[in-house]
Amino acid sequence: MTFDEAIIKWNAALEKGPLTNPFLSSPVAGVSDKKYNQQQFVNRTFSAIIEELRETYEKNVATINLTQSQYDSLIILRDEEVFEDTYSERYPSWGLTTEQAMQAWLHPELVEVVD
């Protein structure tokens, strides 16, 4: 699923709206059963779409293997907001392409620390 597809799915779900559940009453004082059902529907729909996006992107994104010292250097550079076009040339021993280096810099959660 792409982000555009997620937006389309979200809008379509909101157009349809929630099915009312006569057995589900609002546990929140001052909130009608209808409003409670609507909010539960929005929360479930949003969570389902985000989870589907997560699954899509986790399948299509490769992890980047770095040693602990390489990872630490990456984080220091990231915190200083430094990135150069020649990033991979500065650290040739890392064996990263410029695209991989940029991906690691933007998304350090994709980095797998190896020995």
Query: Tokens representing 108?
Result: 């350090």
- Please tell me what DSSP assigns to residue 71: H
Model pTM greater than 0.75? no
Taking 80 as the threshold, does the pLDDT of residue 64 lie above it?
yes
Separation of alpha carbons 48 and 56, rounded Å: 12
Q: Which amino acid is at 38?
A: Q
Q: Give the pLDDT score at 17.
A: 73
- 113 pLDDT tier (thresholds 50, 70, 90): very high
